[in-house]
Amino acid sequence: KQEVTQIPAALSVPEGENLVLNCSFTDSAIYNLQWFRQDPGKGLTSLLLIQSSQREQTSGRLNASLDKSSGRSTLYIAASQPGDSATYLCAVSPRSTGNQFYFGTGTSLTVIP
Amino acid sequence: DVKVTQSSRYLVKRTGEKVFLECVQDMDHENMFWYRQDPGLGLRLIYFSYDVKMKEKGDIPEGYSVSREKKERFSLILESASTNQTSMYLCASRRGGGVYEQYFGPGTRLTVT
């Protein structure tokens, strides 16, 4: 079974800092990896989807990379803002299970004004 | 924009009651999912459906059933609610047949007393 780990569990940074969130997974045979944002008590908002054939995806200040061979993905946030404060989750869809996604437990980010 | 809606944001039920959680998506997606989210455990898949009247068990189906009579609607049923089913329930949908993003609803916070 695919295991997904996100370290650290929590992170605090001053406004304006660039930061990197990490996601690691145990089975490198994946269809895709998706990064989400979750605000307290709310649902998940999709940020970026990386297909297995891709190395990275970018959207605005966000850049996600994928290294399947090492079982790792990173989410880079440039020039962080207080509005970026949320929990960030990654989810992996293994080839062995098709539609099923496995989630990490997330990194709780606080950006201090 | 894809919209996934859930019938209730907050729900309080008594032990032994039958509980229905409903999810509707408006983008003609083939795949729909029900997850529960608990602190420290992350999101865990309960059931998913890849077509009308089709369903597959996820990692934690015990105590739950599902129904998908129409493509846009996916219902989660707790046959006899128990206190250990107190959780945040999240519905998601995704286009089928390829590598596509999952889209989530706002969640239902269920408390069983």
Contacts of A31 in chain B (CB under 8 A): 99
What are A55's two structure tokens?
Answer: 């190395």
Three-state secondary structure of chain A = CCCEECCCCEEEEECCCCEEEEEEECCCCEEEEEEEEECCCCCEEEEEEEECCCCEEEECCEEEEEECCCCEEEEEECCCCHHHCEEEEEEEEECCCCCCCEECCCEEEEEEC
Average pLDDT on B76-91 reads 97
Per the rule left: phi > 0, alpha: psi between -120 and 50, beta: everything else, B9 is: alpha
Tens of pLDDT along B36-78? 999 888 899 999 999 998 999 999 999 999 999 999 999 999 9
The residue to which tokens 């090492």 are assigned: A70
What are B84's two structure tokens?
Answer: 């250990």
Asked if A44's CB is within 8 angstroms of B90's CB, the reply is yes
Tens of pLDDT along A8-59? 999 999 999 999 999 999 988 888 999 999 999 889 999 999 998 999 999 9
Residue B95 distance to chain A (closest CA, Å) = 10
Q: Which of A103, A85, A83, A84 is nearest to A93 (CA)?
A: A103
Q: Give the whole-angstrom CA distance, residue A112 versus residue A29.
A: 38
Contacts of B104 in chain A (CB under 8 A): 36, 43-46
Q: Where are the alpha helices (DSSP H) in chain A?
A: none
